[in-house]
Amino acid sequence: MATYNQEKIAWLGKVVSIQPRTRVWRYVTDNRTHYHIGYNLFFNGTADGAERPFIVAISEAQQQSGGFRIGDEIKGTAWTKQYPEREFADYYRAGALKVLRRAPSMPEQNPPPWIMELPDMQTYEDRGARMLSQSLWKTKCFQCVWASMSNVEIIWDFDKKISKYRFESFCYGPKSCKLYKMGRPRSVPYKGRSSALDEGWLDDLCTEGRDYDE
């Protein structure tokens, strides 16, 4: 597994999206477990002296304290990631967070997408997620509070504790959302066998606790 030397950097930018930061554990097609560990803040701005889009991972406590929302201009510090294949965000272990300019209150909207005050981690945990088309995640769903790009660990050899890593898009939104599409089934490899396909039936298990309009 490739590792990188970590550096502490300074960044400044305008928030263009905030999504839950999650980890997903996959084992063939009979287990898909989601862990909810904080939020990813997507910025347009400057990081480590370069002007570009970037993503900073923060904790739930930092989001609750800062009340960050789309349009806020924020500065802070963070660390580069040690294992790039495991972490979708560009930077994590954020600190010295300061809002330079607060965005106006969010206007009333007719969702989808849902652009509103962020749910807490327990809400995401309780709702459960469905697979989301990556093309929708990049476009119509990008600013929705229910969209997520997850860090995925795939158990490739259970006995030897060998894993593979990738990123996958998911949706925690209402099942009735008119924008929602699952996208293509997702292959789940395992040593010595053909890849299995997650064709969506795990979505039903993960979201069985809520109704069609929830």
Helix (H), strand (E) at residue 201: helix 201-206
Give whole-number Cα distances, 167 to 88, 121, 150, 151, 154, in Å: 7, 20, 5, 5, 10
SS3 11: strand
In sign, the C-alpha dihedral spanning 87, 204, 27, 137 is negative
Q: What are the structural domains of the chain?
A: 10-27+34-101 (2.40.50), 121-206 (no CATH)
Residue 41: strand pairing partners: 18, 56
Q: pLDDT tens across 161-194, in order?
A: 999 999 999 999 999 999 999 999 999 999 988 8
Predicted pLDDT of residue 133 = 98
Structure tokens of 76? 């802070």
Question: Which residue type is seen at 178?
Answer: K
Q: What is the pLDDT along the chain (214 residues), one digit of tens a residue?
A: 566 778 999 999 999 999 999 999 999 877 899 999 999 999 999 999 999 999 999 999 999 999 999 999 999 999 999 999 999 999 999 999 999 999 987 766 789 999 999 999 999 999 999 999 999 999 999 999 999 999 999 999 989 999 999 999 999 999 999 999 999 999 999 998 888 889 999 999 999 999 999 8
Predicted pLDDT of residue 1 = 57
* pTM over the 0.85 mark: yes
